[in-house]
């Protein structure tokens, strides 16, 4: 019998960050936090890619990511190939094949060359998204609308590039230095550029958990039960979880010591409280 869904523990407003992955397969309510897709040149596309592309407010390819998208629609003979044209292709354009650039330009994509060698192609696309986000109207409460950003093809391939993609999670989260979190474990980041940013491939996902409390709702239509909590940005002094096969209670986690990998989600919700930034990762299934 499947585990009964748990309700998030009531907490004071602003202290609990909800990560709900139902949008991966269900109708997307795009007004509050519109979806933005960036395709980069990693390994594999997430199994629900077609659904996500259809629901996205903004679609971008980072340089060689355009090759990946082009090969996908040609190899799989996607009937609606004309719908898989990114709004923007941006990067230094040293990887995109000429026929790919010509095809997408012919079908309406805006190709933007940015030769800056001090930033990578993903950062260039995120900078563009930040500008597009700034042009969105405010919500009903007068607050700026922030995007839900999904980076497709971000995992696998060259290890240095994969780590740079993980680094982007930290760069664009922009929470306060760790000393603030250690003095206040309930502190939640409020200065994130985007509402949310997730890295995915065909087999895994990764999201950054800022210091504080989190309620994670996996989507078992595309996510498996295997998961991990990775202290990739530095040591985590205190980590407590609920809803996992091997829960942690005020544990310290650090490379060279305890790291929770190959853990297992038991419930429909996972609760995490962390004193320091952590990567939450899950397996993706087709």
Alpha-carbon distance of 59 to 150, in angstroms, equals 10
Would you call 251 exposed, middle or buried from its count of C-beta atoms within 10 A (0-12, 13-18, 19+)?
middle
d(CA 20, CA 105): 35
| DSSP β-bridge partners for residue 149 | 36, 197
What pLDDT, on the 0 to 100 scale, is given for residue 3? 37
State the pLDDT at residue 181.
44
Mean pLDDT of 194-208: 94
Tokens (6 digits) for 152: 């497709």
pLDDT of residue 194: 92
The CATH superfamily label for domain 16-284 reads Thiamin pyrophosphokinase, catalytic domain (3.40.50.10240)
Domain boundaries, the chain: 16-284
* pLDDT of the residue at 230: 97
Look at residue 7 and tell me whether its pLDDT is greater than 50: no
C-alpha 25/C-alpha 29 separation (Å) is 12
pLDDT tens-place string over residues 112-156: 999 988 889 999 999 999 999 998 877 767 788 899 999 999 998
Q: Averaging pLDDT over each range in 17-31, 184-198, 207-221, which range is the top one?
A: 207-221
**Number of other CB atoms surrounding residue 107 within 10 Å:** 13
Map tokens 């206040």 to a residue: 184
pLDDT tens profile 44-54: 888 899 999 99
- List CB contacts of 125: < 8 A, sequence separation 6 or more: 38, 40, 60, 61, 62, 88, 90, 91
Rounded to an integer, the average pLDDT of 245-265 is: 96
Helix and strand numbers (H, E) in the chain are: 6, 15
The better pLDDT of the pair 6, 63 is held by: 63
Question: How many whole angstroms separate alpha carbon 64 and alpha carbon 42?
Answer: 9
What share of the chain in percent tops pLDDT 90? 67
**Above 60 in pLDDT, residue 20?**
yes
Instruction: Check residue 79 and give its pLDDT.
Output: 56
What CA dihedral angle connects 175, 177, 179 and 184, to 10 degrees?
Answer: -10
Which two three-digit tokens encode residue 124?
A: 């260039």
Mean pLDDT value across the chain: 86
């Amino acid at each position: 019998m499947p585990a009964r869904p748990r309700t998030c523990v009531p907490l004071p407003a602003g202290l609990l960050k909800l990560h709900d992955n139902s949008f991966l397969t269900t109708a997307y309510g795009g007004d509050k936090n519109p979806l933005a897709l960036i395709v980069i040149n990693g390994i594999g596309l997430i199994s629900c890619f077609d659904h996500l592309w259809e629901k996205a407010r903004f679609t971008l390819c980072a340089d060689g990511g355009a090759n990946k998208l082009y090969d996908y629609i040609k190899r799989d003979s996607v009937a609606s190939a004309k719908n898989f044209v990114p709004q923007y292709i941006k990067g230094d354009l040293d990887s995109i094949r000429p026929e790919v650039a010509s095809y997408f330009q012919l079908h309406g994509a805006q190709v933007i060359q940015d030769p800056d060698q001090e930033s990578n192609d993903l950062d260039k696309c995120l900078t563009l998204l930040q500008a597009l986000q700034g042009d969105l109207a405010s919500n009903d409460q007068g607050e700026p609308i922030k995007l839900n950003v999904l980076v497709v093809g971000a995992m696998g391939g060259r290890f240095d590039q994969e780590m740079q993609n993980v680094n982007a999670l930290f760069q664009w989260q922009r929470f306060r230095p760790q000393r603030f979190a250690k003095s206040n474990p309930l502190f939640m980041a409020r200065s994130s550029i985007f509402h949310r940013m997730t890295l995915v491939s065909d087999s895994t996902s990764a999201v950054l958990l800022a210091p504080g409390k989190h309620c994670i709702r996996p989507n078992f239509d595309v996510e498996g039960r295997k998961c991990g909590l990775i202290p990739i940005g530095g040591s985590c002094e205190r980590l407590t979880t609920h809803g996992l096969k091997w829960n942690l209670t005020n544990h310290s986690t650090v490379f060279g010591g305890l790291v929770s990998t190959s853990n297992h989600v038991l419930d429909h919700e996972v609760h995490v409280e962390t004193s320091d930034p952590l990567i939450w990762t899950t397996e993706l299934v087709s």
